[in-house]
A and B are shown apart, each in its own frame.
Chain A
Amino acid sequence: MTALVIRRLVWTIPVLLLVIFLTFVLMRQIEGNPFRTSERAIPESIQRNLEAKFGLNDPWYVQYAKYVEGVATFDLGPSLTQRGQTVNEVVREHFPESLELGGLAFLFAIVVGIPLGVVAALRANTPTDYAAMVVSNLGFAVPSFLVATLLIYFVVVRWGVADIPTSGWTTWQSKILPVVALGLGPAAYFARLVRGSMLETLQQDYIRTAKAKGLPHRRVVLVHALRNSLIPAVTAAGPLLGFLITGSFVIEQIFAIPGIGRYYVTAVTGRDYSVVMGLTVLLAIIVIVANLVVDIVYGFLDPRTRDARA
């Protein structure tokens, strides 16, 4: 187990370097220089000074090395267009909102998706099951921007069920709709996964044994079956994170939440490439670290994967 953890940890380093490198290469392909735009005529000498200041004249490998050094020391460099602002400040300012949104949506997915999957599996091939699967298939296929729009339209505009703000990220009321809109897809995903693995688990001999020795149904389901059925859901957390990130770009836009996703889009349109690069690398690191954690947790949950070569 320790060997697995260490191996995975060590393996993360070249992966990070490669991902930073690829992002770096991609970013360098983008046409244009932020200081040589036609809209902002800056004297030639100042341009040269600016380029020197940001190291744009160094050979690419020096720039890359500097950038890696920066990432290693949690310094993502200065913003190119917002004078005096660093990418770190952007992250500090906008990341907490995104983290909270993603975290709450994840929670929503667990709280709604797992019970839905369990109930569907326990009542397999009954109307309850079909209804649950229709909901989860739809939740999976309907784009989150429609979910968000319909939520706003029906809850606030049409029915006026609740008078809650539809933009911003301040009061808890303003957080309900974005969290539901973002969490619905992952909840559907969880429900499908848990239903599938639960059906499989319920066929196992140890479930029959548990029933045979007279354990209450509740205990058999919740302790014996559910625990083992959750393994696929845990392993799904990695890809789910990608889903949440992608979704947050859209949801933050719709609900005007000042998070990373929204800022990313602003930075792309504003050609603030150091911010784009920094945020891309940050998102990549988050995903890589999350996958690392999932791998390790998986090793703990499923002893069979432990002794195998890592």
Chain B
Amino acid sequence: MAVNPAPRRVRDRAPWRLKDRRYRAAAESVTAEQRPERPQHEAGAPVRQSSLWRDAWRRYVRNRAAVVAAVAFGLLVAFCLFYPLVSPHDPYEVNFSQASESPSLEHPLGTDRFGRDLLTRTALGGRVSIGIGFAATIAILLIGVVYGSIAGFVGGWLDNGMMRFLDALYGLPYLPFAIITIAIFGNVTFWVMVVALAIASWFTAARIVRGQIITLKQNDYVRAAKAIGARWHRILGRHLLPNTLGVLIIAIFLELPAVILGEAFISFIGLGISPPDASWGAMAQDGRAVYRVHPIEIVIPSVAIATLILSANFIADGLRDALDPRTKET
């Protein structure tokens, strides 16, 4: 068994990125917590994972900041999803007679420089921004799970080579590569943005999954499963991957802000989603033209982005604490 637990390079030990450190803490904690429980799950016994998740839930709801963040996050997403359905205004209809209006009863956030209702536009832009965010995050995690579990599970020279490849790409500025990817596709659509952002930022997720798989692989229950003749796909699918779930859930809320900010930046510099389609970044770009006279137009989408990022950060912190009882007490 070519287990390779010893970090070979400085980078594996050093807390390179804030994100990385949180990931790693999360990775360690989930493993540590699940370890004593796992043997009961062996030999086809019903999996009693509910207690772990119930514990985590109990710890999470005790964390006030995390709960507030989760509520804010949920409200924002719900608003973006449902408001356009009930809004009396057409988000695309240009009406210069009511351009750049201040907030009023009819337009709670005012109108943009084309006379479109800002509240409706913000919800619409949120659909695109959050949609791209979630789609790209899921893509990142999928690539990460596949790449990371192959490297971690097979081990040996393959793991070595795959990780060296990751090292090479790690830390590269993602923006130029995302921009080049967009240029390859020629025109910018929702899915092009998703692909561009995912291609440029799947490295951390892959690394985390790989580390997690390697740690899990050394558990006694994996050895036991091997001893009773479980095939590799059963070990991977039944014993290893389900245990990475905790880390992956945390990872969603760590990747999401980065991806949404990336989309906003690309759209803001004019290479992403372009008008009349809305995304928060594209709206901010639109608003920049008139910020001297009507600053609310750039403030609203930016505040939406900030709210989303902030709440996602706190949710990630709360999830980490919830899945790791040890750090909670300190």
Chain A residues near B (Cβ < 8 Å): 4, 8, 14-15, 18-19, 22-23, 26-27, 29-31, 137-138, 140-143, 145-146, 149-150, 152-153, 157, 189, 192-193, 232, 235-236, 238-239, 241-242, 245-246, 249-250, 253-254, 264-265, 268-269, 276, 279-280, 283-284, 287-288, 291, 295, 298-299, 305, 308-310
Tally chain B residues at the interface, Cβ within 8 Å: 50
Restricting to B4-38, which residues have a CB under 8 Å from any CB of A? 8-11, 13-18
Q: In the complex, are the beta carbons of A150 and B265 less than 8 A apart?
A: no
A153 near B295: Cβ-Cβ < 8 Å: yes
Q: List 20 A-B contacts (CB under 8 A).
A: A15-B167, A18-B168, A22-B169, A141-B306, A143-B261, A145-B298, A145-B302, A149-B288, A153-B292, A235-B14, A239-B171, A242-B171, A242-B172, A246-B173, A253-B268, A276-B176, A283-B176, A284-B176, A305-B14, A309-B8
B180, A189: Cβ atoms closer than 8 Å: no
Q: In the complex, how many angstroms separate the beta carbon of A5 from the nearest chain B beta carbon?
A: 11
- The 3 A-B pairs of least Cβ separation, nearest first, read A146-B302, A141-B309, A141-B310
Query: What are the residues of chain A within 8 A of B183 when measuring CB–CB?
Result: 30, 268, 276
Chain B residues with CB under 8 Å of A150's CB are 295, 299
- A18–B15 Cα distance when bound, in Å, is 25
A19 to B17, CA, bound (A): 21
How far, in angstroms, from A138 to B257 measured CA to CA in the complex?
13
Inside 8 A of B186's CB, which chain A residues have their CB?
31
- The distance in angstroms between the C-alpha atoms of A29 and B310, with both chains bound, is 37
Kindly list 18 other residue pairs between chains A and B, CB separation below 8 angstroms, not including A235-B14, A238-B16, A241-B173.
Answer: A22-B169, A31-B184, A140-B313, A141-B305, A143-B284, A145-B268, A145-B284, A149-B291, A245-B175, A246-B173, A246-B265, A249-B269, A253-B268, A253-B269, A268-B179, A268-B180, A283-B173, A287-B173
In angstroms, Cα B302 to Cα A22, docked, is 33
- Chain B residue nearest to A295 (CB atoms) is B10
Q: Are B313 and A137 in contact (CB under 8 A)?
A: yes
Q: Could you say which residues of chain A place their CB within 8 Å of the CB of B262?
A: 246
**Closest residue of chain A to B14, judged by CB?**
A235
Contacts of B15 in A (CB 8 A): 232, 235
What B residues does A14 contact at CB under 8 A?
A: 168
Q: 1/0 contact trace for B266-301 toward A, CB 8 Å?
A: 001111000000000000100010011001001100
Counting CB contacts under 8 A, is B174 at the interface?
yes
Most buried by A among B168, B264, B268: B168
Encode contact with A along B288-330: 1 for CB under 8 Å, 0 otherwise.
Answer: 1001100100110011011001100100000000000000000
Given contacts A4-B10, A242-B173, contact A145 B288 (CB under 8 A): yes
B83 close to A (CB within 8 Å): no
In the complex, what's the smallest C-beta–C-beta distance from B244 to chain A, in angstroms? Answer: 24
CA distance A157 to B298 in the complex (A): 15
A138 to B174 CA separation, bound complex (whole angstroms): 23
Is B177 interfacial (CB 8 A cutoff)?
yes
A280 & B184 in contact (Cβ 8 Å cutoff)? no
Residue of A nearest to B261 (CB): A143
A30: contacting residue among B14, B184, B313, CB under 8 A: B184
Point out the residue from A26, A137, A193, A235 that lies within 8 Å of B180, measured CB to CB.
A26
In the complex, the answer to whether A138 meets B310 with C-beta atoms within 8 Å is yes
The 8 Å CB contact of B171, one of A142, A232, A287, is A287
Q: Which among A193, A250, A268 is the interface contact of B265 at CB below 8 angstroms? A: A250
- Point out the residues of chain A lying under 8 angstroms from B179, CB to CB: 264-265, 268, 276
Which residues of B sit under 8 angstroms from A29, Cβ to Cβ? 184
Q: How far is the CA of A263 from the CA of B232 in the complex (A)?
A: 51
- Within the complex, the shortest CB–CB distance from A202 to chain B, in Å, comes to 13
> Could you say which residues of chain B place their CB within 8 Å of the CB of A269?
270-271
Question: In this complex, what residue of B is CB-closest to A286?
Answer: B173
Q: How long is the Cα–Cα vector from A241 to B172 in the complex, in angstroms?
A: 9
Question: Do B313 and A284 touch across chains, with their CB atoms under 8 A apart?
Answer: no
Q: Is the CB of A239 within 8 A of B17?
A: yes
**Residues of chain B with a CB closer than 8 A to A8's CB:** 10
Chain A residues whose CB sits within 8 angstroms of the CB of B269 once the complex forms = 249-250, 253, 265
Given contacts A236-B18, A291-B171, contact A143 B181 (CB under 8 A): no
Contacts of B18 in A (CB 8 A): 189, 192-193, 236, 239
A143 to B261, CA, bound (A): 7
CB neighbours of B168 from chain A (8 A): 14-15, 18-19
Asked if B57 is at the interface (CB within 8 A of a chain A CB), the reply is no
A152 and B291: CB pair below 8 A?
A: yes
